[in-house]
Amino acid sequence: MKNKSKNHNAAYHSIAGFLLGVGQLFEFSFRFLLNVFLPPYEFHEIKKHMDELGVKTLPIVSVTGFIIGIVLALQSQPIMARFGAESFLPAMVSLSVVRELGPVITALIFAGRVSSGIGAELGSMRVTEQIDAMEVSAIDPFRYLVVTRVVACSLILPVLTMYVVFLAIFGGYLAMILSQSISLQLYVVSVVEAIRFSDIIPGIGKTFFFGFIVGIVGAFKGYNADKGTEGVGKASTTSVVLASLLILVTDSVLVKITLWLWP
């Protein structure tokens, strides 16, 4: 009986802690929305974070985007050939990358690279009391540390996604050269005819939400980190897990909405 009671109490505390964390995250996000449009605007800090986040993430997303296109084309070619639909392979690769694979995979990689970094950086500042020092100096640490990073993430991720989509489509062309003879002109024409403007808008548009999730989760975990080095590590790891989970959940909702708006 005692073991059952302990298990029930542990489950209750886990659920209560989860719900409390969700509420705190929504409160943190609402605070961001209240501050993002108020002056003064830290354009210099936003630009600096965009440069850091974009440049440091560029190598890994470049390799990933290139491999996505190659693997997708090589894996799909035998299946398409089985049904005599090899001519639709360029369209299939490009649509898959533009609408779903490119945005989601780029966002997950971005979360692993950036959300953990923001969580660790702000967590270290919280532990070493640098944030408290900013408050004493009459500087709003939330606007300077959180708002700038979240805005930078929201703006740079769509740019990275477009870059990854281009590399993935090019990788698909190289894979098709290895499996079948196709000219670059024919491949480009097939891709252009397959992709419509209504395909680009949902794919790139939802990356603004993904970038916001990456930035706000990392900032939330780091800004509210517990005291000690253990809290910094916990903030870094949990921010990646939570950001990745929220990206997948948000994507499932946005897919339904975009299919309804742009069928």
pLDDT in tens, 37-55: 887 778 888 899 888 888 8
In angstroms, what is the C-alpha Rg of the chain?
22
Q: Taking the alpha carbons of 35, 161, 255, 111 in that order, is the dihedral positive or negative?
A: negative
Q: Alpha carbon of 39 to those of 34, 42, 75, 173: distances in Å?
A: 11, 8, 51, 47
pLDDT above 70: residue 11: no
Domain segments of the chain as ranges: 36-261
Q: Is 70 exposed, middle or buried (0-12, 13-18, 19+ CB in 10 A)?
A: buried
Nearest Cα neighbor of 118 from 207, 60, 49 is 49
Q: Tell me, rounded to whole angstroms, the distance of Cα 216 from its chain centroid.
A: 11
Region 101-117 average pLDDT:
92
Q: Which residue has the tokens 């996000």?
A: 29
Q: Residue 137: which residues within 8 A CB-CB, separation 6 or more?
A: none
pLDDT above 60: residue 8: no
Q: Where are the beta strands (DSSP E) in 60-120?
A: none
Residue 61 and residue 102: Cα distance in Å, rounded? 10
Q: Residue 187: which residues within 8 A CB-CB, separation 6 or more?
A: 90, 173, 176
pLDDT above 90: residue 136: no
Report pTM: 0.89
**Model confidence over 237-247: pLDDT tens digits?**
889 999 999 99
**Model confidence over 112-127: pLDDT tens digits?**
889 988 988 888 888 8
Q: Which residue has the tokens 């395909």?
A: 199
pLDDT band at 7 (very low <50, low <70, confident <90, very high): low
Specify the pLDDT at position 148. 92
pLDDT above 60: residue 187: yes
Q: Which two tokens stand for residue 68?
A: 């996505």
Residue 110 and residue 155: Cα distance in Å, rounded? 13
* Tally of CA atoms within 13 A in the half-sphere of 149 that contains its CB: 24
Q: Residue 186: which residues within 8 A CB-CB, separation 6 or more?
A: none
Specify the pLDDT at position 98. 92
Q: Alpha carbon of 260 to those of 194, 255, 257: distances in Å?
A: 19, 9, 5
